[in-house]
Structure 1
């Protein structure tokens, strides 16, 4: 393993970039916020990354204490990567970066890949600012489904696909609406009132969203 490169500056921002400033590292963190992931799953949800670069970044993240690797018990026996507490603490960093970058999205380009769960972190920020409490929210888009763990202090922040059990609220919407909510052009409450987000469910979160 090659030694970690450093800016050699006595500055906390520079030290942080020593760890996460390389291309792809923060996007790997984004994927691992969904919980343990196999290498093949990471590669599938990071279109454009080479296998060599992905493997190198994961090794760097293990070395720097941001992620770990473990073997699942039989019958799977596959290896998965997961964030450490230090790695999970990057959630607000990614949310702030996503909020800052939302105005750059504009119209989706023909070359742009998209995954439904890439909307999870901006939506989580909006949900936590609108509805108090904890719970699981399932989201249905044309691009697919994902679910969020609102108010979770540890463990996965979101997951691809339907919620593993009954959801406290289900949201039906489109990527354009979630994009508008993400960069502040539309509030979550206004999107619900306008019918751009359909809310179903009897949980506390569902009621809070309908009454916001």
Structure 2
């Protein structure tokens, strides 16, 4: 009589097995690609296909595995969009969004390593959101800033406008309070940590458009 096959046990996620907050954090987000998936989802809910398109180099199997781990770890959830979209999206939980300052700090730490862009380096406009947010940390004026770069457009929220919401997003904003335009060299200098946004505004390398309070506050950063 053939032996009955036992159901496969779910694989146990690797752990450092250390009673340390840093080790516990790395248990949750230390796998390759996880933090970059968080970076993408910080801009709002995304379909699996969109995530795969904006994470060049990740295999479909690894992406699916990481998303499953993030769901199990309470970092992300998957939900079905109402008709007529009829698609599933992934989005961060409050715990997942709590990784924003971690990624912002990590981007600052890694900025000096950017150097020259290699021919194999992929680039997306919204990847500049983290260094730009870091440069806007002292800005208290609330609103939505649309950012135009040669690679494309994204938008971000400042002040109270950002509380409890997606801090940045893909593409143009519906009704931005200000528009910020940077050329390629200015954006790269900002990402590398070579200069702050205030210096770019002051030197005319970042142009601010708009007449409201947020646009005025952005222009004022260049006069400090």
TM-score by shorter chain over 0.5:
yes
Q: In 2, are the aligned partners of 1:36 and 1:81 still within 8 Å (CA)? A: yes
Match of 2:99 in 1: 90
Q: How far does residue 175 in structure 1 lie from its aligned partner after superposition? A: 3.5
Q: Does 1:144 align with 2:134?
A: no
> How far apart in 2 are the matches of 1:146 and 1:207?
20
Q: How far does residue 160 in structure 1 lie from its aligned partner after superposition? A: 1.2
> Equivalent residues in 2 for 1:3-152 (5 A)?
3-129=12-138, 131-151=139-159, 152=162
* Counterpart selection for 1:161 from 145, 149, 171: 171
Highest Rg: 1 or 2? 2
Off by >6 Å, runs of 4+ in structure 1: none
Q: How far does residue 74 in structure 1 lie from its aligned partner after superposition? A: 0.5
Q: In 1, are the aligned partners of 2:180 and 2:206 still within 8 Å (CA)? A: yes
Q: In 1, are the aligned partners of 2:149 and 2:187 still within 8 Å (CA)? A: no
- The total of aligned residue pairs comes to 210
Deviations 1:127-171 (Å, cap 9, x if unpaired)? 232x222110001111111111112111211111111x2211101
Segments of structure 2 that go 5 or more residues without pairing to the other structure are 1-9
Deviations 1:62-98 (Å, cap 9, x if unpaired)? 0000000000001111000000000000000000000
Name which of structure 1's ranges 85-94 and 185-194 shifts more when overlaid on structure 2: 185-194
Q: In 2, are the aligned partners of 1:126 and 1:188 still within 8 Å (CA)? A: yes
Q: In 2, are the aligned partners of 1:102 and 1:179 still within 8 Å (CA)? A: no
Match of 2:193 in 1: 184
Q: In 2, are the aligned partners of 1:119 and 1:178 still within 8 Å (CA)? A: yes
Q: CA RMSD in A?
A: 1.1
* Counterpart selection for 1:201 from 201, 210, 220: 210
Report SS of the residue matched to 1:156: coil
Q: In 1, are the aligned partners of 2:152 and 2:171 still within 8 Å (CA)? A: yes
Give the alignment's TM-score, normalised by structure 2. 0.91
Q: In 1, are the aligned partners of 2:115 and 2:192 still within 8 Å (CA)? A: no
